[in-house]
Structure 1
Amino acid sequence: MSVDPEGPVLVEGPVEIVLADGTVARSDRFMVAVCTCRRSRTYPWCDTSHRRRERADPPQPEDRTP
């Protein structure tokens, strides 16, 4: 198992996770990223929603002097 403070918990699979409502999420993958931030749309699996989204600066108009 590997824990990244800025991201998911990586667990060697296969993995079964019992959710709060009693349902069981299963993955047969050899390595599974489990979401810890709860931002994932595929919770309990990580979809990298924890990554900060940065907007690129809008292009600046060129300074054209006649």
Structure 2
Amino acid sequence: MPIGTERPDGPAGREPRRVVVVPGGPVLVEGPVELVTDDGGIVRCDRFMVAVCACRRSRRYPLCDTSHRRKRKD
């Protein structure tokens, strides 16, 4: 199948996961998910919706802890 061509039922007959990018906030992914960190570690989360940190300020990175809400002092 050419790149950019989508199957209505997703890969291997599975429904596609919904991913929502929140401006100034996290990336929301329908769970459960398994995240691979930059050092090769694995973070598993069984929640129905998982907030993935996009700002790297989270103390629970790669999961969001709402640190993006705190004001930055530049």
- Deviation of 1:5 after TM superposition, in Å, equals 1.5
Residue matched to 1:44: 62
- TM-score, normalised with respect to structure 2: 0.68
CA distance in 2, matches of 1:16, 1:52: 27
CA distance in 2, matches of 1:18, 1:47: 18
Mapped pair 1:14 → 2:29 = no
The unaligned stretches of length 5 or more in structure 2 are: 1-18
- Please give the root-mean-square deviation of Cα atoms over the aligned residues, in Å: 1.4
Larger Rg: 1
Aligned length: 54
- Give the share of equivalent positions with the same residue, in percent: 72
What SS does structure 2 have at the residue aligned with 1:36? Answer: coil
- TM-score, normalised with respect to structure 1: 0.76
The structure carrying a bigger helix percent of its residues is 2
Matches within 5 A, 1:20-35: 20-35=38-53
Residue matched to 1:3: 21
The unaligned stretches of length 5 or more in structure 1 are: 54-66
Amino acid at match of 2:56: R
Amino acid at match of 2:32: P
**Which ranges of 4 or more aligned residues in structure 1 deviate by more than 2 Å?**
none
